[in-house]
Chains A and B, each alone.
Chain A
Amino acid sequence: MEQRFASIFFPFLLADYTVRQYAHLKNKAFVLAEPERGRSVVKAVNSGAAAQGISAGMVVADCKAILPDLQVLHYKKGLAEKLLHNLGMWCIRFSPVVAVDLPDGLIIETTGCSHLWGGEENYLKTIIQRLKDFGYEVKGAIAPSIGGAFAVARFGEPSIIKKENIVAALSDLPPAALRLQPEELERLDQLGIHHIQSLLKIPRSALQRRFGATLLKRTDQALGNETEFINPLIPPEPYTARLPALEPICTAAGIEIALQELLKQLCNRLQKEGLGLRRCRFITYRIDAREQQLMIGTTQASCNQKHLFKLFEEKISTLEPGLGIELFVLEAPEVEKTSTIQETLWNHGENKTNTEIAELVDRIAGRVSIQNIHRFLPAEHYWPEFSFVDTSDLKQKPQTEWRTNFPRPLHLLPKPELIQVTAPVPDYPPMLFRYKSRLHKIINAEGPERIEQEWWLQQGLYRDYYCVEDEEGKRFWLFRSGDYGDKKTQWFVHGFFA
């Protein structure tokens, strides 16, 4: 689903709040000021003062020169945060995800909310009208990105921006709309870039070189090319389920029942949201305030109660209930979207097989740990140790074919083992060799097949591989490390043929 965000901008937040408290200030020009380094500096202005050209950051003495009957009131630190927090909490009625956007705005995620007010226009109008009724001056915009909504609400004509119009809506706005640092803005101004439009025409690499990554990041965030995260006032409820016990529970059967009940709750909820578990934690709180937990992981997002229960079942015996457990909590710290195919074709063919195998792997991983489960894919290397890669992904397909053009032994020693050899120089296979204190006389031999080191991976000597067979029909894969001639020529056995 496409995400939508509303940015609400309060141009005179503190001044409007002051008017709410002291109604007689309504039609007068006033500022809120604070002493700073021995002089009084304006921190916030109201609309009347702003109309006369007074803005935040000016010295009060200068403002008095412009407007002799300007009223100066005391500025209270931290008031803006408090006000925005309260306004944000009030806005929860419009959407569950509301965040404070300091110093003078709110961000509301409106995804899936606006239709309740009869469309986005009506939705935005309602929010603005309700806030205006409190006495605040408000501007707002809805856009597909946080940065976009911010820019339009403050610098553009407040409106609803569709995803396809975002570039057009932003192009005429000044670069300040992108939430840049003052130094960056100054440099852009020096370069004669007064609109975002001209900024977008410059190649990215040039911008990166001149301004660093922040400018590009901010631009992407505004255009919706990069996701931006907000810190909601009320964090969305994590996936947990709780089960308090009436009486302390101290039997395995009791724990199993509790676990099943919790899994039912959690899985039903996940299933409704199209999600599945990847990791799950089962926490038990004992009456003597000791906490114990079990952890399971799955290779594929799953909300199959039976399967998850089986994974936990193996471990229930490790819990020590002591005098009894009074609270069970089941948490899902990691959830993932289940593939839609899995839902529609739950009980058919390949998907069923995939799910069954993934569940089997989960069960095995619970017993012998996931590091001991391997699936191998071909890799484009001749060096035998590098010719395959280990993957934990069950769905990954090989990028290349497995090589079959050279003989390879079915058993490969994890580390080549040193052997003593009698071999004619310079390039013949050995005649005799001793491996594990047994002498093997070679009857047939094939080779050499030279495999060079891949210098971009590791340095060392090349290997000359020979396939050899002894009198009893044992077939070996031997290699000589490096050249003859060198006194320390070493031979190794590396594998056994079938």
Chain B
Amino acid sequence: MPVEVVYKTDVLRSLRKELLVLQGFKKPVCERHISVGLGFMEKSFPHDVFPTGAVHDFVSDNFSNAAATNGFISGVMGNLFKNAQKINAVWVNASNKIFPTALKLFGIDPHHIIFVNARNPKDVLWVIEEALKCSCLTAIVGELQDIDFTASRRLQLAVEKSGVTAFIHRQNPKSKNPVACVASWKINSVKSIPQNMPGLGFARWNVELTKVRNGTPGNWLVEWQAGHFKEIKNQLKAISSHRELKVS
């Protein structure tokens, strides 16, 4: 009997893997295995790798969380680029709020990013889609208020062809409609803990992976420490137990 059970789970596992490939998750080859410095949350992703060449959706509800979200995106992008010597990203928004000098603190060379300002939300979407078709880029960040499901499907299709990673950042969205994406995130800024010195500590965020296709959602407390993501363990327990309490 146990032999049969083992056999069954093996078959199921291999079938699941096949399914992943059919859903557009190509098996990462050695060279495509790009670490974005989020080692501690890799178990949550399909194939245990941060999905590049896909659409990631971020939602923020106020100016501070918007900055935190952009900070998290910048950290991931900084790891994606890793000393690249060319222009490799396009950052689209209605009006530019990003302070280029600060991007360097997230490991990005600001002169390798092209910033596009488009007043009209339709133009923002058009620029994102056009940029996503350009396979010589590595990542696109699009900041807008709302995106409907159809538009997000178009982005997903563009991404599947070109392999560019898209970060769609919705700020104060009017509606919480579903979005075609591989992962949904919510990043909130959390009070920092000073390091033996008066003043501010490292930037600290509560990273919530609310939805991930073929993965397990999760919640982490993360600090950006001198160019690296670092998980803060003790607090996480406190928060998760708090959540459990709330749930129960």
Contact = CB atoms under 8 A, between A and B. Distances in A.
Interface size class for chain B? Answer: 35 or more
Given A357-B87, A374-B115, A388-B101, A498 B200 contact: no
Interface stretch (A13-21, A162-170, A441-449): A441-449
B103 to A, nearest CB: 7
B98 interface: yes
Contact of A408 (B96, B99, B118, B205): B99
Given A372-B116, A388-B110, A496 B134 contact: no
B70 interface: yes
Interface string A249-273: 0000000000000000000000000
A364 B67 contact: no
Interface string B80-91: 000000110010
B48 interface: no
Contacts of A468: 200
A437 to B, nearest CB: 14
A87 interface: no
Given A469-B200, A496-B67, A498-B224, A364 B99 contact: no
B114 A373 contact: yes
Contact of B64 (A354, A356, A412, A473): A473
Contacts of A496: 63-64, 66-67
B66 to A, nearest CB: 7
Contacts of A350: 86
Nearest to A474: B64
A233 interface: no
B235 interface: no
A375 B115 contact: yes
Interface stretch (A50-58, A128-136, A329-337, A376-384): A376-384
Interface stretch (A117-125, A397-405, A456-464): A397-405
B123 A368 contact: yes
Given A364-B116, A471-B191, A475-B64, A498 B136 contact: no
Interface of A: 350, 352-354, 356-357, 360-361, 363-364, 367-368, 372-378, 384, 387-388, 394, 397-398, 402-404, 407-414, 443-446, 467-469, 471-475, 495-498
6 contacts: A373-B117, A374-B117, A407-B105, A411-B97, A446-B200, A473-B188
